[in-house]
Every structure is written in structure tokens, then in C-alpha cells.
Amino acid sequence: MGGSENKRNGMTEVKEHFSEIPTMTSEPVHRYLTQLGIEWKGLGAAMELGCWLGASSVPLLMGLITAGYDKQFWAFDNWVANEQQVGMAREWGIEIQVGEALMPLYNKNVSKIYYRITTIFGMIPGTLVSYSGDPIEICILDAPKKNPVFINTIRALYKYWIPGVTILGLLDYKFYQRFEGKKREQLEAPARFIEDNKDSFELIREWENECPVFFKYIKPLKNI
């Protein structure tokens, strides 16, 4: 066990973490991901876009295997370390270099939990052409937060969502709230998308001091 400040969430929260995987998401969100996995209904695949080293994939997978998940888990990322990531990993005592390919570290972390992982390396949304097209039950987005990447990601995936079933986790949903002006406007893309399609979603989980918000997809999108 160790303590670490959750830097991305920009908060003062000091958290205890049971995992040794450097994370950009917090313990309450990890617990919720596990819960979501446990509630998997067997109707579609689970995926995460923006996995980094696996800190959010692992709790989701832990829940999924409890539920008997037997499909591919789809993991998308470009897995190239930048300066911010190098600093964050160092807080966990993990040394990576700027430009380092991180997919091997991701694979090492998630393969302890589940073996049917399809890792798709490269830039979203282009890499989404590799997706099989199977129905998606759990769709976690932690990479695309600005347009056009965000909306093109949604356009590539929403046809595989299941009305009344699919859970959409937007892990950067409230990130815009820390900024003003142009940057805030750019980061509002996920919130604007939900607002433009509010009849299609039901809010299922949010936290006061966390960026992520989870929705259930209810019915076809109107503004896409």
C-alpha cells in the first residue's frame, strides 16, 4: 500500500492505492468500474479507449471476470510516453522515458487478470476501423476529449451500442470545468455531445470532485 496524490484530477485528495499501476483515475472510479464489470449482462463486448498502463482496465476486468466475461476486451491507445506520463509513473517508482512504447507495460499489467485482450496500437479514431463490429456493452472513453477526435470516435462506435444496455463512461467529462476560454470550449466536447443527445442517455454515476461521468445509452442519437 502506498499514498499518492491524484494529479490529473487536480485535487488535493491523497489516496491509498492497492495497485502498483500508475493511474490517472481515482480509487472510487476504479471501484465503480469493478462494479460495472460485475454487472455485465453477457450482451456485448467491453472496451477502453485511452488505457495507458492499465490502471482503469484492470478493475473493470476484475469485475468482468467475476461476471463470467468470455469475449475479447478491446484496448485502444497510442502507448507512447509523454513528459507528463513520465512524471506520473515516477510517483509510483516506475521509470519510463519520453517516447517509450508503453504497450508492453500495459500487456504485462492486464494479462495477469485476463488473457483475451485485443490491443490496438495507434491514434484514435483512425484505429477504430480495426474493431470487429460486435455489439458493445461497456464503452469507456479516456483518450478523446476534444473535437474532432471525440465526435469522430462516437461516430465510429455508436452503431454498435445496445439501447437500454450499453454503458458509456466518459472519464474526462468534467475536465473542462478547470479551464476558461478557448481551452474550456474545446474540452466541453463530451458534455456538449451528451447535451445535444440528452434524450438518448440516462446519467448513472458521477462524483462531486471527479471528472468521470457514466451514462446508460437508452435510444438512438439524434444529433450526431
Ligand X SMILES: C[S@@+](CC[C@H](N)C(=O)[O-])C[C@H]1O[C@@H](n2cnc3c(N)ncnc32)[C@H](O)[C@@H]1O
Q: Which helix (H) or strand (E) holds 138?
A: strand 136-141
C-alpha cell at 161: 451500442
Q: What's the rounded Cα separation, in Å, for the pair 210 and 207?
A: 5
- Alpha-helix residue ranges (DSSP H) falling in 94-180: 103-111, 149-157
Question: Which segment (22-30, 31-39, 108-116, 173-181) binds ligand X by CB under 6 A?
Answer: 22-30
Q: How far is the CB of 80 from ligand X (least distance, A)?
A: 6
Q: Which is nearer to ligand X, 35 or 222 (CB)?
A: 35
Q: What's the rounded Cα separation, in Å, for the pair 117 and 61?
A: 10
Interaction pattern, residues 66-95, with ligand X; x per rule: CB under 6 A? -----------xx-----------------
Q: How far is the CB of 221 from ligand X (least distance, A)?
A: 21
The count of chain residues that interact with ligand X, using the rule CB under 6 A, is: 16
CB 63 within 8 A of CB 36: yes
Question: Which segment (9-17, 20-28, 61-69, 190-198) binds ligand X by CB under 6 A?
Answer: 20-28
Q: Residue 210's closest CA among 169, 182, 181?
A: 169
Binding residues among 91-130 for ligand X as defined by CB under 6 A: 123-124
Q: Which is nearer to ligand X, 145 or 161 (CB)?
A: 145
Question: Which segment (140-148, 160-168, 184-192, 195-203) binds ligand X by CB under 6 A?
Answer: 140-148
Q: Could you tell me what percentage of the chain is helix, strand and coil, using 3-state DSSP and rounding each to the nearest 5?
A: 35, 20, 45
Question: Which segment (18-26, 109-117, 162-170, 195-203) binds ligand X by CB under 6 A?
Answer: 18-26
Binding residue for ligand X, selected from 32, 52, 150, 176, defined by CB under 6 A: 52
205 burial via Cβ count (<10 Å: 0-12, 13-18, 19+): middle
Query: Which residues contact ligand X by CB under 6 A?
Result: 23-25, 50-52, 55-56, 77-78, 123-124, 142-144, 149
